[in-house]
Amino acid sequence: MTTTAIVTGAARGIGATVARRLASDGLAVAVIDLDEAACKPVVEQIEAAGGRAIAIGADVSDEAAVDAAVERVVAELGAPTVLVNNAGVIRDNLLFRMSADDWDIVMNVHLRGSFLMSRAAQKYMTAAGFGRIVNLSSTSALGNRGQANYSAAKAGLQGFTKTLALELGKFGVTVNAIAPGFIETEMTAATAERMGVSFEDFKAAAAAQIPVARTGVPDDIAHAVAFFAGRDAGFVSGQVLYVAGGPTT
């Protein structure tokens, strides 16, 4: 029986790589992002490699949209037993410049979105007696200048992860979080551009501070997701794995 996975924020970057990896591991994958059309290239890549996938456009912070998306996954791919809450946005600014809208949109996508997706998917997991929820946190959860909103949201996801692990464990559902460090994505490239430096210089400066002497790539995160999503990780739950090239403080 094919296991069905949902990956949010999967049109590009880490989410797209995670979706392709889970598909290569034999899962059917629902590729969810705001724009359904933007998800289709990822679906086509998965199908070209022999996998099964569908593209779904949904705002994860919208309760009705989330419920409709999960119902569509059930109808077209089967009941989901793996959920990767990866959807995210940044609205970086120093506190005194940060608007209430900057705060709210980051909280809504990261926290409300993960809550809504997890609530909608968990009933299928508990019914199956098996489930895997993986939440994408960040090293920014430890504090990062100019990211009061993002840091708070990512720290909140860690508490959310641990609580769901306590609630869902007896039903065969594990819940874990991955906290990436510097990962080469369109988002980090945009940060470099906003700072007025080249992406290569930005990466080099970051790598100089990382013990393994390189920046991360989306595959580094996909490998960790694949571990947590697998049946062999059934005794690992409520954990936060920092994938950052070294120890974090």
Query: Residues 117-143: pLDDT tens digits?
Result: 999 999 999 999 999 999 999 999 999
Q: Is residue 46 domain-shared with residue 140, that is, in the same domain?
A: yes
CATH code where residue 55 lies: 3.40.50.720
Assigned token pair, 210: 């990382």
In the chain the beta strands, taken as DSSP E runs, fall at 4-8, 28-33, 53-57, 80-85, 131-136, 173-180, 240-243
Residue with tokens 């946005």: 89
Percent of the chain with pLDDT over 90: 96
- The boundaries of the domain holding residue 195 are 182-215
How far is residue 70's CA from residue 73's CA, in Å, rounded to a whole number? Answer: 5
Q: Is residue 62 domain-shared with residue 174, that is, in the same domain?
A: yes
Residue 1 is predicted with a pLDDT of 60
Q: Is residue 224 domain-shared with residue 160, that is, in the same domain?
A: yes
Q: Is residue 106 domain-shared with residue 141, that is, in the same domain?
A: yes
Is 124 labeled as catalytic in the residue annotation?
Answer: no
Count Cα neighbours of 186 within 13 Å in the Cβ-side half-sphere: 11
Asked whether the beta carbons of 166 and 238 are under 8 A apart, the reply is yes
Q: Is residue 132 domain-shared with residue 198, that is, in the same domain?
A: no
Q: Is residue 172 domain-shared with residue 110, that is, in the same domain?
A: yes
Q: Is residue 72 domain-shared with residue 99, that is, in the same domain?
A: yes
Q: Is residue 26 domain-shared with residue 135, that is, in the same domain?
A: yes
- The single-letter code of the amino acid at 131 is G
How far is residue 171's CA from residue 29's CA, in Å, rounded to a whole number? Answer: 22
Q: Is residue 90 part of a domain?
A: yes
Annotated catalytic residue within 103, 124, 150, 242: 150
3-state secondary structure (DSSP) of residue 61: coil
- 13 conformational bin, left if phi > 0, alpha if psi -120 to 50, beta if neither: left
Q: Is residue 122 domain-shared with residue 208, that is, in the same domain?
A: no
Q: Is residue 120 domain-shared with residue 196, that is, in the same domain?
A: no
Q: Is residue 198 domain-shared with residue 87, that is, in the same domain?
A: no
Asked whether the beta carbons of 87 and 9 are under 8 A apart, the reply is yes
| Beta pairing partners, 174 | 132
Q: Is residue 248 part of a domain?
A: no
Q: Is residue 249 part of a domain?
A: no
> What pLDDT, in 10s, does the model give residues 138-191?
999 999 999 999 999 999 999 999 999 999 999 999 999 999 999 999 989 988
Q: Is residue 165 part of a domain?
A: yes
Give me the number of domains the chain comprises.
2
Whole-prediction pTM: 0.97
DSSP 214: S
State the average pLDDT over residues 61-70. 98
Q: Is residue 91 part of a domain?
A: yes
Q: Is residue 77 domain-shared with residue 110, that is, in the same domain?
A: yes
3-state secondary structure (DSSP) of residue 158: helix
